[in-house]
Amino acid sequence: MKYCTRALQNRINLARSPSKVILLFGARQTGKTTLLQHLVENEEAYLINLQDRRLRRRFETDTGLLLRELEARPEIRTVIIDEIQKVPALLDDVQLLYDRGAGQRRFLLTGSSSRQLRRGSANLLPGRSVAYTLTPVMQAECRPCELLPMSLPPEPRFPTRALEDCLLFGSLPGLFAESRESWAETLATWADLYIENEIRQESIVRDMGAFSRFIEAAAIESGRLINYTKMASTVGVAVNTLRNFFQVLEDTFLGMRIPAFTETRRRVALAPRFVLFDLGIRHALAGLRMSEDLIRTSAGELFEQWVMGELCHRAATLGAGFSVSSWRTAGGAEVDVILRTPDEVIPVEIKWTEGPRPSDARHVETFIDLYPRARRGYVICRSPTRQALSPRVTALPWNEF
């Protein structure tokens, strides 16, 4: 499959001068290395893939190897180190080369686990680096969108997909190059390798049995409010252990915590939601069969998770000033997603319906009444056309939001 543009390209390009080291984080197989290689395709780049066990052992056991290799090759101006968390000590070498070179080389680093870097007190190059997070393919990278629009580089773009495919198989970029028949097997393999390579081999958690039970429960509960006490009882661990397990998912970019929006005058529920980063991976981790039966039994819940995840990914891609939260009052008023931008706050309700009604906008209207920075709201649904549900609330089709 030919390279398709990513929305993050524009942000990374702004920082591609040698004045900063680029740290590109994200879950496995979201296309981090592919993106960086594309950005430097016209340059001679030195790629160090630390997924290669033999190469990793060389850098682990031979202190100063990177320094000696680059000193022997002054023509190299760009260095890409893939999965830097595998050998965090290399960050010290990167800093030394960066400081010594005064901008003569560009360093582009990828990582799929910030936990391993923090746990090892790794040098994250303060003042010398800028960090980004790459997500699965967003709908905003396939077509124009209204909420949190992306500034996209020139084509080629990823092809648009049917809603049912998005709900069943998610949006890992590799799937776009495969036949539909292989998608379920690819996702199942990803889930197995995550447990084996990211968790077990790296010794991130001690009790693998408890973590395996947890990750299945977390996948099933994805998108819902977290009840730590109830889930801890189900998994058979202490609440603090459960909280640590959730942090593991965040640190390995497998999930996103959606906090409660609290800046209103009403008393609100403070429990966060937690959404896995990709629906296809969610189904694989939960052991669910990716068939039409899953949509028939859980369509509304899947649609809600898909929209939430998409908006979380857009906010992460846009960076500082953009965030996602949820809102639920003690009186029962609830809005699925609250988008915060530098200019406004936007309440968004998510409905599976093809025929939205003004009553679907009532909680969005309540939120707008309570919060002065909220001037408009939306109901995202499966309507074939956009509709004005009220002077302030618009129903948007799923393929336009």
What are the structural domains, with CATH classification, of the chain? 8-134 (3.40.50.300)
**Is pLDDT of 103 > 80?**
no
The whole-angstrom separation of Cα 8 and Cα 234 is: 39
Does the pLDDT at position 13 exceed 60?
yes
Rounded mean pLDDT, 337-360? 98
Q: What is the pTM of this model?
A: 0.93
- 3-state helix, strand, coil split of the chain in percent (to 5) is 40, 15, 40
Whether the predicted pLDDT of 307 surpasses 60: yes
pLDDT at 155: 85
Q: Which two tokens stand for residue 341?
A: 């931008």
Looking at residue 105, its pLDDT comes to 87
Residue with tokens 């309570």: 370
pLDDT tens track for 239-287: 999 999 999 999 999 999 999 998 765 667 788 999 999 999 999 999 9
> E strand or H helix at 328, and its extent?
strand 323-328
pLDDT of 122 > 70? The answer is: no
The mean-pLDDT minimum among 124-128, 165-169, 176-180, 312-316 falls in: 124-128
**Whole-angstrom distance, CA of residue 259 vs CA of residue 325:** 5
Half-sphere exposure of 356 (CA within 13 A, CB side): 27
Please count the residues of the chain.
401
> Is 19's pLDDT higher than 80?
no
Q: 228-235 and 208-220 are packed helices; what angle lies between their axes, rounded to 10 degrees?
A: 130
**Cα–Cα distances in Å, from 374 out to 91, 185, 314?**
43, 44, 19
**Is the pLDDT at 14 greater than 90, yes or no?**
no
44-58, 121-135, 231-245, 369-383: which range is least confident on average? 121-135
Which residues contact residue 278 at a Cβ distance below 8 angstroms, ignoring those fewer than 6 apart?
27, 136, 170, 171, 172, 309
Task: Give the per-residue SS3 of 94-128.
Answer: HHHHHHHHCCCCEEEEEECCHHHHHHCCCCCCCCC
Closest by Cα among 322, 328, 331 to 260: 328
> What is the pLDDT, as a whole number, of residue 201?
67
Q: What percent of the chain has pLDDT over 90?
A: 76
- 186: tokens are 């690819």
362-372 pLDDT, tens digit per residue, is 999 999 999 99
Q: 120 falls in which pLDDT band (50, 70, 90)?
A: low
pLDDT of 331? 82
Q: What is the mean pLDDT of the chain?
A: 92
Q: Is the pLDDT of residue 101 over 80?
A: no
Residue 148, judged by CB atoms within 10 A of its CB (0-12, 13-18, 19+), counts as buried
Tokens matching residue 12:
């990374």
User: Which of 12-26, 144-158, 200-214, 380-394 is predicted most confidently?
Assistant: 380-394
Question: Which of 111, 4, 27 minimizes the C-alpha distance to 284?
Answer: 27
Predicted local confidence at residue 18, as pLDDT: 60
Higher pLDDT, 306 or 328: 306
Is the pLDDT at 67 greater than 90, yes or no?
A: yes
For 325, the 3-state DSSP assignment is strand
pLDDT at 20: 86
User: For residue 102, what pLDDT band results from cuts at 50, 70 and 90?
Assistant: low
Compute CA distances 243 → 124, 239, 249, whole Å. Answer: 25, 6, 10
Per-residue pLDDT at 390 exceeds 60: yes
Burial of 370 (0-12, 13-18, 19+ CB in 10 A): middle
Q: What is the pLDDT of residue 24?
A: 96
